[in-house]
Structures are given as C-alpha cells and as structure tokens.
C-alpha cells in the first residue's frame, strides 16, 4: 500500500481453509491491507504452497476445524500472535442428492466442518479478543443459507446455521468491542462451481453451459463473483465501523428454480 498507513497494519488475521480458493484470496486481500496472516487448513501441502506464493507475512498451521483438540492446539501455537481477525472460511459443499438419499454420516460431516468448525474456532479465539476489548470475526456463509438450492439440504441448512450463529454471537460479544459478521457470496468462479456445473449437466442431461446459466441467472449480478471480490469484501467489512451482527450478500440469490 502507498500513501498512509495500511488499514490492518499491526494486526494478525487467521483464515481457515486458507490453502485454496476463497480462503487464499481472502488471505491475499488482508495481506495487501497490511495484516500479518495465518492460514490454516487440513492440507499441509496446499497451505505450504499458498503461503510461499503469497510471500512474507504469511505463516501456515495445519488444523482440522471440526476437531476440538486440533483447534485447541492451533490456539495454543498462536498464543503469542494476538490474533485479532478471525475469518472462518473452511467449508465443504457436501452431498448433492434428495434429502431421503443422504446418509447420516454425510449430513454430520457437513455440519461438523461448516457449523461445528465455526463454533470451535470462535470458542478458541474469542476469549483473547474479548479480554483485549477488540477483534473481528467474519464467517463465510453463502447465499445458499438464505435461498434454497435444491438437492443440497445439508449445505443450505449448515449455512443458515452459520448466519444464526453469527447474529446470536454478535450480541454476546459485541458489548466487549468484538464484532461478528458473516459474508454470503453467490456462486464464485472457480473449481468448486465448475465441479457443480459438471455434476448438474450430468444429472439433467444438459450441457455445462446450460447448467452454468441456471446458476448464474439467479444471482443478482447475473454473473459469478470472483475470488478477489470476496477477498475485497472481507477487507471492506473490516473497515466498516459499527458493523456487527450483519450478513452481507455478494450478488444476492434471486429465485430458486
């Protein structure tokens, strides 16, 4: 950054699922805003490659956000870092099937990572923030947490739970000076959506282009969001004084078909 102090200078941000996709883009945006960044996730190789691609100022730690002992070990290893920004981005899409065909194991895996993971990370990192009287948590939800996406019940329900957790927790810790908000991106251009479009095209016997159009046509912008737009949105939310308990849409969902 040039001309003046970077907005996040002197702060440390922890981004879960930071080894790939949106997490890596969020890490890049926060780094550009002057933060020191810790990326965490399950895949050590991806974390290493992303950290070295992003350059100095980024460190990585392996952690499975769905496992309490793994999250506690992460918090302990970062005790000296004064993490004051927590971005809970790690998440999985889960099965694509009618609810009656979804196994209990698949259901639990989505909730363990998408919801329990956010709970465990907040539980581990909030006490230090509330004790200091400052900090910001941003949970990556999804427009699927507000508009139904057929055959993705566990994912949609898990993201609705993330939004509920966000607004409730905001009221609990807001008075201490810590903000909690969520960001709900519409479909983001990248490997996850490409896989979705391929599966949808196979399922419906249509083309990849038609499957893509069916998704994109129900986004407010009429196009996919970019990973960099998601990163920039997280940076912008951190610069909005007084933002607490909000869920912000990036290209809101319009109607489900």
- Specify which residues 88 forms β-bridges with: 139
* Gap between the Cα atoms of 244 and 2, Å rounded: 29
- Specify which residues 29 forms β-bridges with: none
Q: Enumerate binding residues for ligand NAD (CB under 6 A).
A: 16-17, 19-23, 41-43, 63-66, 89-92, 113, 117, 140, 142, 185, 187-188, 190, 192-193
**45 or 100: CB nearest ligand NAD:** 45
CB of 4 to ligand NAD, least distance (A): 31
**8 or 63: CB nearest ligand NAD:** 63
How many residues are present in the chain?
Answer: 257
Query: How far from 64 is each of 39, 73, 113, 115, CA to CA, in Å?
Result: 12, 10, 8, 13
CB of 93 to ligand NAD, least distance (A): 6
| 162-39-21 Cα angle (round to 5) | 65
Of 19, 121, 33, the residue nearest 74 (C-alpha): 121
* Gap between the Cα atoms of 104 and 210, Å rounded: 32
CB of 65 to ligand NAD, least distance (A): 4
CB of 163 to ligand NAD, least distance (A): 12
* Gap between the Cα atoms of 155 and 170, Å rounded: 22
Of 250, 110, 66, the residue nearest 74 (C-alpha): 66
CB of 20 to ligand NAD, least distance (A): 4
Catalytic residues: 155
**22 or 124: CB nearest ligand NAD:** 22
User: Do 222 and 52 meet the contact criterion of CB atoms below 8 Å apart?
Assistant: no
* Gap between the Cα atoms of 134 and 173, Å rounded: 10
**187 or 235: CB nearest ligand NAD:** 187
**14 or 113: CB nearest ligand NAD:** 113
């Amino acid at each position: 950054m040039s001309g003046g102090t970077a907005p996040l200078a002197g702060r440390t941000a922890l981004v879960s699922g930071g080894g790939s996709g949106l997490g890596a883009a969020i890490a890049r945006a926060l780094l550009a805003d002057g933060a020191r960044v810790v990326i965490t996730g399950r895949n050590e190789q991806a974390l290493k490659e992303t950290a070295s691609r992003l350059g100095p100022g980024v460190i990585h730690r392996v952690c499975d956000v769905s496992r309490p002992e793994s999250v506690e070990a992460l918090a302990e290893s970062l005790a000296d870092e004064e993490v004051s920004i927590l971005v809970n981005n790690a998440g999985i899409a889960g099965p694509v099937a009618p609810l009656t065909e979804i196994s209990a194991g698949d259901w639990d895996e989505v909730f363990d990572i998408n919801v329990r993971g956010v709970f465990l990370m907040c539980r581990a990192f909030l006490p230090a923030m509330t004790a200091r009287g400052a900090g910001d948590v941003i949970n990556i939800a999804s427009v699927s947490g507000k508009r139904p996406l057929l055959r993705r019940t566990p994912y949609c329900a898990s993201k609705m739970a993330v939004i509920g957790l966000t607004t409730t927790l905001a009221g609990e810790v807001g008075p201490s000076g810590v903000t909690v908000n969520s960001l709900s991106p519409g479909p983001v251009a990248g490997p996850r959506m490409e896989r979705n479009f391929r599966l949808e095209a196979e399922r419906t016997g249509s083309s990849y282009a038609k499957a893509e159009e069916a998704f994109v046509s129900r986004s407010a912008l009429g196009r996919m969001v970019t990973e960099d737009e998601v990163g920039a949105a997280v940076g912008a939310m951190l610069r909005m004084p007084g933002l607490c308990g909000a869920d912000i849409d990036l290209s809101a969902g319009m109607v489900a078909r």
